[in-house]
Amino acid sequence: MSERTPTPGRELVAAFAIEGALLSCEPLKRGHIHDTFVASVETPAGPRRYVLQRINTHVFRDPGAVMDNLLRVTGHQRRALEREGAPDADRRALRVVPTRDGRAFQADEAGRPWRCFPFVEGTVSHERPAHAGQARAAALAFGRFARVLADLPPPPLHVTIPGFHDLAGRADALEASVRRDAAGRAGSVAREIDATRAWLERAAGFAGEAGLPRRPVHNDCKLNNLLFDAARDEALCVVDLDTVMEGCAAYDFGELVRTATCPGAEDERDLAGMRVLLPLHEALARGFLEGTGALLTAEERDSLGTAGARMALENAVRFLTDYLDGDVYFRVKGPSHNLDRHRAQLRLAELLHAERAALERHVRGAAR
């Protein structure tokens, strides 16, 4: 997916409950899925910035369900912050800016859904942790997020992406893409396909989820889905909440491990130079288990040691599937980008699996 959405103009901005004149609107260059912009507005109280985001309906087929979840989750977060007397609540939980007629999103002239949030000033995001303390702070924030949502009142959250972390389903989708060969690429990546099949067979021994509780989790706990206070380096606000729905705690911890313990990029091409930084994993384990507190069962804690390898493998499968389909899901920078991502993530799964004993030891130590 390489198409870009045109920059939103005054008419779209005016559809939201924002008082003031649009000064500028610039792309925010982050994320694989949505198109995001920062709008500067001259309000009666002075200049203010807002995030405008087009919901990708190829990925999220029901934007109404996405926004219903988001309103429920952020409202629950805010009530928890009020009970705790937390300072800067507006910087610790997202707030949806409604349209002028009270809806959660606005369709543009082409029917594309847009939503709006106040820009959280004085914050930064990180692709990877600069040190173990930052890794622990991130894991603590995501662990607390899961703990806060544990008492979210019924009904269950909408399923915004069916089968999102269904590894068996992802494997079936890969095989369907191999057979379909929509982009004519399958013959050139036969080695990668065979290697992925072998790892999927091997995963039966470490990626099982039978008997694990299903609970509201983020489902996409990358480090860059967390805003840090720019001055104090404090983890403030969990963002990108579109995938919040029922799942396993291991999905969240595993995605943190996948994205935070390897200094290489997600699309790293120097596979031989890739490595896992064990001190960062230990910090993640301590932060996540501190954040979740008494929430997790013994079985859930036991699943965390292999969670990183499981999530790296799942993403390797997804990237290879999208490559075979012609790059229709993830935004790419070139024709081999998804293939580069696949190779790097499969290599990371290998590295994390090789360190399984040490990673499980970290989790046991953090649980004491």
pLDDT at position 212 is: 95
CATH superfamily to which 132-367 belongs? Aminoglycoside phosphotransferase (APH), C-terminal lobe (3.90.1200.10)
In this structure, what are the phi and psi dihedrals at residue 236, rounded to the nearest 5 degrees?
A: -105, -55
Q: Is the pLDDT of residue 291 over 80?
A: yes
Q: Burial level of 262, CB count in 10 A (0-12/13-18/19+)?
A: buried
pLDDT at position 8 is: 85
**Span 62-79, mean pLDDT?**
98
pLDDT at position 2 is: 46
pLDDT at position 233 is: 87
In the chain, ranges of CATH 3.30.200.20 domains: 10-121
Q: Is the pLDDT of residue 1 over 60?
A: no
33: three-class secondary structure by DSSP: coil
**Span 259-283, mean pLDDT?**
97
**Tokens of residue 220, six digits:** 């996409």
**Span 233-252, mean pLDDT?**
96
Q: Is the pLDDT of residue 76 over 50?
A: yes
**Tokens of residue 116, six digits:** 């709006």
Q: Is the pLDDT of residue 113 over 50?
A: yes
Q: Burial level of 12, CB count in 10 A (0-12/13-18/19+)?
A: buried
Q: Is the pLDDT of residue 9 over 60?
A: yes
Give the mean pLDDT of the chain: 95
> Of 149, 187, 175, which Cα lies nearest the Cα of 70?
149
In the chain, ranges of CATH 3.90.1200.10 domains: 132-367
Decide: pTM greater than 0.85: yes
Class of domain 10-121: alpha beta
Please state, in angstroms and rounded to a whole number, the distance separating the CA atoms of residues 48 and 43: 7
**Tokens of residue 137, six digits:** 């702070």
Across 3-17, 82-96, 149-163, 185-199, least confident range: 3-17
pLDDT at position 207 is: 76
Please state, in angstroms and rounded to a whole number, the distance separating the CA atoms of residues 356 and 305: 7
pLDDT at position 31 is: 61
Residue-wise pLDDT tens digits, 156-203: 999 999 999 999 999 999 999 999 999 999 999 999 999 999 999 999
**Span 93-122, mean pLDDT?**
96
**Which positions ≥6 away from 6 have C-beta within 8 Å?**
none
pLDDT at position 208 is: 79
**Tokens of residue 333, six digits:** 């920078």
**Tokens of residue 217, six digits:** 């989790």
For residues 303, 146, 285, 226, the Cα torsion angle rounded to the nearest 10 degrees is 130
Please state, in angstroms and rounded to a whole number, the distance separating the CA atoms of residues 38 and 52: 6
Q: Is the pLDDT of residue 354 over 80?
A: yes
Quickly state the pLDDT bin for 28 (edges 50, 70, 90). Answer: confident
Quickly state the pLDDT bin for 4 (edges 50, 70, 90). Answer: low
Quick one: which H or E segment has residue 215? strand 215-217
